[in-house]
Chains A and B, each alone.
Chain A
Amino acid sequence: MNDERGGEGFAAGPPQGEMRPLGGQRSTRSDERGGHILDVRDLHVEFPTALGPALAVDGVSFTLDKGMRLGLVGESGSGKSTTVLALMQLIKAPGRISGGQAILAGDDLLAMSAQQMRSVRFSRIALVPQGAMNSLNPVLTVRAQIDDLLDAHGQKPEPKERARHVAGLLQRVGLPENVADQYPHQLSGGMKQRVCIAIAIALSPQVIIADEPTSALDVIVQKQVMQTLIHAQREVGAAIILVGHDMGLMAQFAHVVGVMYAGRLVEIAPVQEIFANPRHPYTRMLISSLPSFATRKVFRGIPGVAPSIVNPPSGCAFHPRCPRAEQRCSREIPVDDVLAPGHHVRCHFARELPPVNAAGEALA
């Protein structure tokens, strides 16, 4: 049943010392070399502020294999949404991508011109936005909005073929055909989100980015939307990056989970591995703070507040909240430590921490 799980061959890029120039050359390192559909290397995004630049994304590297589902978790302001929006060049000025590469099957997404990017969006990398209610145009039917996309990419100009394509898309996301001629206000929140998924797969992209697609939906609908997303992904053979803060949902959805904190990817590992053997104290606390039906009246929050990214704590940004922190943590930024194939951690003590039990106990 979980045949796709495990995220074999997953590896984040090696830590990069110097910042890479935003630039030009194509890479030949793509899927013919055995699997990576997307290779993000040392991504940096910054926003200028009155107090100096805020590093919203600070050296994030990961790879994505064909058909893989990556979950990116972290609290508000950790840079998870900024990371995926950068992949589509959707960072709004004055924010800018200040370094790194994102190689999608040989082409660097970050080096593309605005025009090139327009042709790549949704045809090769698509987005399922956070609020389906706000992303659909209220005065256009669903069909007109799918038409817009197909027109922009010059796809299926023949009317009969197009109608068939639209019907097929709706069927793939479990919606009846008549939805095509309805307006967004006639649909429920879950149906609107499914329409957004249908639009995302309309051009069979290689990567689908889903930015908290269920956060505005009821819990029962959430599961249906996630099932729809997986079903649609399989149909077009895309990889998915799911952004969210619900570790419980990630446990069920993702093959590989990446945890972000203060703009850095602090831990990334196959889902079974990260839940059984979380090595970063923050990951550990995220997992143990999950409420479940197993225990009552046990509150394990993460003390302290999220760090400022304008003026982040020195060294490891988590050290002010970390129960394992030592003096060294406030001085040295932990390097990317590879504990096992596909299991990367940025913590000075990643190798010495004992395995954690199922309840997330036994810290130090």
Chain B
Amino acid sequence: MMKRSLLNLLLVAALMVAALPSVLALAQEGATVTALVDESAREVVDAWIAAYSEQNPDAVFDVTYAPADVLLDDLSAAQLVITRDMPEDLPIEFECGQIGPIRMLLPDLAGRYLSSVDCDGPLTGPAASAAAFLEWVTGPDGQQVAIDLGLLPGEVTVTDQAGETVTVPQPVRRVVSAYGVSTYFVYPVGGEDRLVAATYLGIRGDEAVEAMTRIDPRFPEVANAVSTLGQGESNLEEIAAVQPDLLLASRDSEWLSAAGELGIPVLRFEGETPESLKEAVRLVGAVLGPDEAYRAEQFAEFYDEVLGSIQAQMADIENPKTVYFSGTQPLRVASGGMYQTAMVELAGGVSVSKDVPGAGWQDVNLEQVYNWNPEVIFVPTYGRATTEAFTDDPQWAPVQAVANGNVIQLPSLTGPLDTPAPDSIIGIIWMANQLYPGELDLDCEALAAEFYARFYDYDLTAEEASSLCS
């Protein structure tokens, strides 16, 4: 009896060992993606899967088409859901799993991946394949399939921030950004993979370069693709050589009239207000595709939610703090037309220089500063600006901010946080917390982590979050 059962056991073990390689092989192939698809989208999804499988022969899809009303009834086996009305909260809960963000495959068709096994960490198996598929569908190749079926327009016409009507043929595969701020409009909408050459505002020093490379591993390649690229001057022939479908530029760039001769659509931006920042991100989203347009709205919502929260809480603050936002020298101040001044006001401060005319930094004298007597001085992270320039100078000692130790330099992860780029919202959150420490319900680290996760696809380390918020 004993012998027999032992023999059985050995037999079972031998069978298992023999079966192992085939099980492993199955896992390596990426496994079959179980997909639930709204039957009204059958044609386009079939076309996507066919085109995707041609490029990725390993991908295997097991698609169940169902009417929309019963589609979401049982999600337990699915790794991919594609439907017209994607609810924010899917009717399923995992003990330990992930539900991906909503991706807009068409203006009226959304998809998201599900994983019941990957707790945090990277996706594995069929869920990873599902995520890669969604990424491909929202990318230029997937857009091309939808354009061929007449579901996406062959060209998109927008009015840019210089008031020009610009027609951009779809899909946009290669983007060049010749304006240090507009490059950052591409990231929140998820279009960074399409950047082929770009200039990045204010990324100076090894730490900033390393941080930006962590956020986007392609950063060094993209930043160096064209030798001269910027607001003031760009090498047009080198731009032409990287064959862009779209050029993002500053409204103030004078070389753009020559760029128009290349026949590349140009979007011009000007940003010194929160509204123009949101509009700029929406513009980039609109010309890149439905998913990008959706993400631009998400960004605008996040931005407005944070500002609304600060504004609501400011109702309880009796004496708003007066703020002097200094430039690269102590006696240089942000004028009323500058984004820095708007940021101070949005963060619940009162800018002492909000009535100073002009659109750039303005020089003032110490007597004027004594008159203003600001309670807080903010110092930017560029140039030779330091807090010591204020604290070590006896002439500044009588100013409230200096006397009370409220001269504070902005934090920085990559570029400066006081430019009209999307991450300026972190700058505003930081400012509000510096102005009213402990008085606001505004968790800087959590919001910064959420911002980078949602709009830069990047998980901030605890260290980065705390340095951004200190």
Partners in one complex: no
Using a CB–CB cutoff of 8 Å, the interface residues on chain B facing chain A are: none
